[in-house]
């Protein structure tokens, strides 16, 4: 006569009992799998002659989030980043709308690069926002917002030339005490908004070489667009 395993019978009976009461989630099944993840390496290279970039801020989000728009008013977080190079408020203010975020640990000097990695559950729509201040300016920043990386396969990458924006929150007076970078060592962020109060493409700096005697900037601090090169590679 065939001998039945009492332990197996008890386990089967328990599964049947739990299923009948609606409490069964898994009984000895190995069908459950971890959620599929997507991971992106974000590399920024500074193309300027003498404009260090503040520590990078990288955000991963869906299509509902946009960090700035031309003609729109800069958020408080963007103002702090664009005037003083501090990205902490920029990242934390909208944390509830983000899948994840990452911050650089140091400025990116001329000719230098930095790489950040962001990882989150795979979603049908995944977009990246990247922002950094040109620290030898009043409130210039570079970056991109809403860059769609949804279709990148593992191992694929995409490139983007990064333009220069003016946050419109601080007058571009280039005067001593107003620029946080090594050209001046000024205060950086100031809560008073004394400019047009909307984001636009940056017109560039004047500098003392063009006869603006009050400027602390010289010819080396001038910049052209693009100021930086962005490479996004999906690694998972």
Q: For residue range 71-111, list pLDDT tens digits in order.
A: 999 999 999 999 999 999 999 999 999 999 999 999 999 99
Q: Please report how many Cα atoms fall inside a 13 Å half-sphere around the Cα of residue 105, on the Cβ side.
A: 3
Q: Which pLDDT band, with edges at 50, 70 and 90, does 62 fall under?
A: very high
The pLDDT tens digits of the residues spanning 12-51 come to: 443 444 344 444 444 444 444 568 999 999 999 999 999 9
Specify the CATH number of the domain 37-234: 2.60.40.2130
Q: Residue 234 phi/psi, 5° resolution? A: -85, 125
Q: Is the pLDDT of residue 206 over 60?
A: yes
Q: Where are the domains of the chain?
A: 37-234
> pTM, whole model, 2 decimals?
0.86
pLDDT-based confidence at residue 6 (cuts at 50, 70, 90): very low
The pairing of beta strand 57-61 with beta strand 127-133: antiparallel
pLDDT at position 204 over 50: yes
Express each pLDDT in 152-173 by its tens digit. 999 999 999 999 999 999 999 9
Which pLDDT does position 35 carry in this prediction? 83
In whole angstroms, give the CA distance from residue 171 to residue 155: 43
**Mean of per-residue pLDDT scores for the chain:** 90
> Residue 82: what pLDDT?
99
pLDDT at residue 194 greater than cutoff 90: yes
Per-residue model confidence as pLDDT tens digits over 103-151: 999 999 999 999 999 999 999 999 999 999 999 999 999 999 999 999 9
pLDDT at 195 over 70: yes
């Amino acid at each position: 006569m065939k001998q039945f395993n009492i332990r197996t019978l008890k386990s089967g009976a328990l599964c049947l009992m739990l299923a009948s009461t609606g409490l069964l989630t898994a009984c000895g099944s190995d069908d459950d799998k971890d959620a599929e993840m997507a991971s992106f390496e974000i590399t920024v290279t500074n193309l300027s002659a003498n404009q260090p970039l503040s520590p990078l801020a990288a955000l991963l989000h869906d299509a509902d989030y946009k960090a700035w728009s031309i003609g729109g008013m800069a958020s408080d977080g963007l103002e702090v980043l664009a005037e003083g190079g501090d990205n902490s408020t920029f990242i934390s203010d909208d944390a509830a709308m983000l899948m994840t975020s990452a911050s650089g640990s140091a400025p990116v000097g001329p000719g230098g690069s930095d790489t950040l990695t962001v990882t989150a559950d795979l979603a049908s729509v995944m977009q990246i926002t990247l922002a950094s201040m040109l620290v030898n300016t009043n409130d210039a920043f570079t970056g991109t917002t809403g860059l769609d990386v949804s279709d990148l396969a593992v191992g694929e990458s995409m490139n983007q030339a990064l333009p220069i924006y003016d946050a419109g929150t601080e007058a571009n007076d280039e005067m001593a005490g107003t620029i946080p970078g090594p050209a001046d060592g000024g205060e950086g962020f100031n809560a008073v908004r004394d400019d047009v109060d909307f984001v636009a493409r940056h017109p560039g700096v004047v500098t003392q070489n063009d006869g603006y005697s009050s400027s602390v900037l010289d010819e080396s601090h001038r910049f052209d667009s693009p100021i930086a090169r962005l490479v996004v590679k999906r690694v998972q």
